[in-house]
Structures are given as structure tokens and as C-alpha cells.
Amino acid sequence: MVAAQLVHAAGESAPGDLAPGTHAVVLGVDNEAELQEIEARLFQFDVPYHAIREPDAPWQGALMAIGVVPMVPTKQLRKVTKKLRLLS
């Protein structure tokens, strides 16, 4: 729940307006390889996203998170996320 509220707060404080009804959902994977697979599937299904890579040591460019652009149709997004676990 803390992760979802953190994402929600970040979205609310970001410049620009989020559409009413935008939801903050945090899903998890076990490692970077799984996250890279999700990134490949998002690309495959034309789901707009932002990949977050940490440039500093000790991560040196590792993929740390992916943010999906708000208002992607649920049907399109579920093709990629249906097996991911909800962080709570």
C-alpha cells in the first residue's frame, strides 16, 4: 500500500494534469530479468511506458522500474501485466 501511495503522490505532484479516474497501481517482479521481459512485452504490444534506469553505482544503468503512461486501455495493458503480483 505504501508503494501505491508513493506513486500516487508522485503523479499528483508532477507537472501537468492527470485525468480524473487515473489509478496508481504497483506491480512487482522478482528481478531485473523479469522487468526486462515486461519492458519487451510493453514494446511488443505498443503500450507507452517510461523505463527507469539507475545510472549511479552500484546499479550502473540497471532497469529499476517501469511507469506506464496513464490512460492506456485496460485490455491492452492486461496482455502484459496479468501475471504480475500486486504489491501490498
Cell of 63: 532497469
- The answer on pLDDT for 9 being more than 90 is no
Q: Where are the domains of the chain?
A: 2-86
**What does pTM read for this prediction?**
0.85
Q: What is the dihedral of CA 44, 85, 88, 35, to 10 degrees?
A: -50
- The answer on pLDDT for 16 being more than 80 is no
How sure is the predictor about 51, in pLDDT bands with cuts at 50, 70 and 90? Answer: very high
**Nearest CA among 52, 56, 48 for reference residue 35:** 52
Which CATH code is given to the segment(s) 2-86? 3.40.1490.10
